[in-house]
């Protein structure tokens, strides 16, 4: 597994504790826009584009969850950061679980947002990868954004829903398909009991993709983990209930 040099931006005071933010399948680092200003008042916030997404390199897929984890370790190395907090949403949360288990000396506290340790059925991810390789990611952008936001929120915020749809559609097909391969083959359930980082699991109450039962399983398996369910939020609770999720992250990392 070869790490790639992912694209990143850094915000916040140079001497502050480092907080790395990882995004979901089909997103760029802009998925944390609503959190960035507040989090960077307290932390040195490092946001990155997952490989195959945004401005990061797009190596041929499929990728593995270990690939995504090693990309983060390589990023910490490039920045000269020995240990950081990590907060990831969805695919980013999966990367966070891997890091917590396999790079415990590099990870301080963990926030796992709207995620799952095993997200089946595998055939669905294989089918998605096939679809985007044949037709491009735009072919499923409407379907995915309907999982990201509740219908009520999307109706009240049509401009934002359109921006998110465009973000998904702009994802390189090979990068998106490569990350579908991560989820298709990933099962992190066995490693969760080895995670020693203080962990907060956040779930959106109305998330159709990684429902609160998935978060509850993660929280039950990681020693001492806490869980928060955010009302009126679908898969991207950090977008739909931005202030609530920012407050939960701050409280956990400062605790």
Ligand X SMILES: O=C(O)CC1=CCC(=O)O1
> Among residues 120 and 223, whose Cβ is nearest to ligand X?
120
Q: 123 Cβ partners below 8 Å, 6+ apart?
A: none
Number of H helices and E strands in the chain, helices first, is 11, 7
| Residue whose CB is less far from ligand X, 24 or 40 | 24
Return the number of the residue (25 or 36) whose C-beta is nearest ligand X. Answer: 25
Q: What's the token pair of residue 76? A: 């910490």
When asked if residue 246 is in the footprint of ligand X (CB under 6 A), the reply is no
Q: Cα 19 to chain center, whole Å?
A: 13
Residue whose token pair is 């579908």: 180
Among the listed ranges 23-31, 56-64, 157-165, 218-226, the one in contact with ligand X (CB under 6 A) is 23-31
Nearer to ligand X, 87 or 183 (CB): 183
Q: Which is nearer to ligand X, 12 or 207 (CB)?
A: 207
Residue 34 within binding range of ligand X, rule CB under 6 A: no
Angle (deg, nearest 10), helices 91-102 and 65-79: 70
DSSP letters for 127-174 = HHHHHHHHH-GGGGHHHHHHHHS-HHHHHH-HHHHHHHHHHHHTS-HH
The one among 118, 147, 196, 226 contacting ligand X by CB under 6 A: 147
Q: Which is nearer to ligand X, 3 or 132 (CB)?
A: 132
CB 34 within 8 A of CB 249: no
Interaction of residue 131 with ligand X, rule CB under 6 A: no
- Confirm or reject binding of residue 56 to ligand X (CB under 6 A): no
Looking at the Cβ atoms of 83 and 130, the one nearer to ligand X is 130
Q: Does 24 bind ligand X (CB under 6 A)?
A: yes
Task: Supply 193's token pair.
Answer: 């009991």
Distance of CA 108 to the CA centre of its chain: 17
All residues at 6 or more sequence positions from 113 whose CB lies less than 8 Å from its CB, including other chains: 87, 88, 89, 90, 92, 93, 201, 202, 237, 238, 245
Q: Does 235 bind ligand X (CB under 6 A)?
A: yes
- Per rule CB under 6 A, is residue 25 in the interface with ligand X? yes
CB-based closest residue to ligand X: 90
Q: Does residue 21 bind ligand X (CB under 6 A)? A: no
Residues 159-188 that bind ligand X (CB under 6 A): 183
Binding mask 82-121 for ligand X (x = CB under 6 A): --------xx------------------------------
Which residues contact ligand X by CB under 6 A?
24-26, 90-91, 144, 147, 183, 209, 235
């Amino acid at each position: 597994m070869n790490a790639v040099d992912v694209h990143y931006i850094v915000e916040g005071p140079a001497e502050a504790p480092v907080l790395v933010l990882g995004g979901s399948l089909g997103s760029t680092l802009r998925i944390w826009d609503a959190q960035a200003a507040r989090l960077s008042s307290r932390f040195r916030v490092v946001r990155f584009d997952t490989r195959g997404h945004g401005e990061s390199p797009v190596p041929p897929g499929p990728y593995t969850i270990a690939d995504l984890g090693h990309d983060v370790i390589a990023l910490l190395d490039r920045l000269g950061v020995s240990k950081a907090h990590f907060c990831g949403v969805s695919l980013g949360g999966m990367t966070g679980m891997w890091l917590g288990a396999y790079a415990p000396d590099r990870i301080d506290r963990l926030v796992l947002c709207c995620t799952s340790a095993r997200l089946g059925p595998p055939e669905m991810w294989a089918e998605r990868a096939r679809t985007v390789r044949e037709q491009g990611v735009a072919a499923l952008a409407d379907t995915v954004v309907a999982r990201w936001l509740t219908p009520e929120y999307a109706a009240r915020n049509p401009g934002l829903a359109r921006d998110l749809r465009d973000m998904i559609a702009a994802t390189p097909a090979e990068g998106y398909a490569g990350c579908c391969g991560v989820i298709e083959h990933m099962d992190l359930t066995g490693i969760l009991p080895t995670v020693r980082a203080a962990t907060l699991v956040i779930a959106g109450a109305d998330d159709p993709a990684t429902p609160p039962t998935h978060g509850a399983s993660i929280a039950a398996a990681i020693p001492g983990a806490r869980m928060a369910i955010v009302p009126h939020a679908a898969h991207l609770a950090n977008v739909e209930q931005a202030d609530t999720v920012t407050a939960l992250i701050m409280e956990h990392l400062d605790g």
